[in-house]
């Protein structure tokens, strides 16, 4: 395990994943970047995208993450994601219904604040759809 990177993925609710990995590919706002053991210390904000954890011992994982930041330090890589989704656990139909409701809320908003809250939530769902559409193509 001396050649492995210690990796932790944390969401606001819980520790999602903690393991030793060969490499982790992170969807940074400036582009995807790969982290190996002994990577230079780095902090990056994250965009909606696929986080790939690669492990030669069979522990590969792909998760969709939305927002947050990543920190690489001497201890390893920690990703603090606003939201995480298992790719096979995304219910696109319910998200489409939620997006439809949010678009109605935007149209019917009585204040700029209400409109902005609904628009931000709609943009979040659209960013998830963008990621799903890219990996399906």
pLDDT reading at 19 higher than 60: yes
Q: Where does residue 51 fall: left (phi above 0), alpha (psi -120 to 50 degrees), or beta otherwise?
A: beta
> Dihedrals φ, ψ of 120, to 5°?
-65, -40
Closest to 52 (Cα-Cα) out of 11, 23, 76, 17: 23
Q: Where does residue 76 fall: left (phi above 0), alpha (psi -120 to 50 degrees), or beta otherwise?
A: left
Compute the average pLDDT of residues 2-14: 91
pLDDT reading at 1 higher than 60: no
Please list, in sequence order, all residues whose beta carbon lies within 8 angstroms of the beta carbon of residue 37, skipping any fewer than 6 positions away.
Answer: 3, 4, 5
Q: How confident is the model at residue 2, as a pLDDT?
A: 64
Compute the average pLDDT of residues 87-115: 93
Q: How confident is the model at residue 9, as a pLDDT?
A: 96
Compute the average pLDDT of residues 92-101: 94
Cα(123)–Cα(120) distance, integer angstroms:
5
CATH number of the 5-87 domain:
2.60.15.10
pLDDT reading at 80 higher than 70: yes
Cα-Cα end-to-end distance for the chain? 36
Decide: residue 77, CB within 10 A, 0-12 exposed, 13-18 middle, 19+ buried: buried
């Amino acid at each position: 395990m001396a050649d492995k990177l210690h990796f932790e993925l944390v969401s606001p609710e819980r520790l999602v994943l903690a393991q030793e990995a060969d490499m982790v590919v992170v969807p940074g706002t400036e582009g995807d970047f790969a982290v190996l053991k002994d990577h230079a210390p780095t902090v990056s904000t994250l965009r909606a995208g696929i986080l790939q954890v690669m492990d030669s011992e069979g522990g590969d994982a792909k998760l969709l993450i939305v927002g947050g930041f990543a920190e690489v330090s001497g201890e390893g890589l920690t990703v603090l994601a606003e939201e995480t989704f298992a790719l096979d656990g995304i219910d696109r139909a319910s998200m489409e219904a939620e997006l439809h409701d949010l678009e109605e809320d935007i149209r019917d908003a009585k204040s700029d604040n209400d409109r902005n809250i609904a628009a931000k939530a709609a943009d979040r769902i659209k960013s998830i759809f963008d990621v799903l559409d890219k990996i399906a193509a």
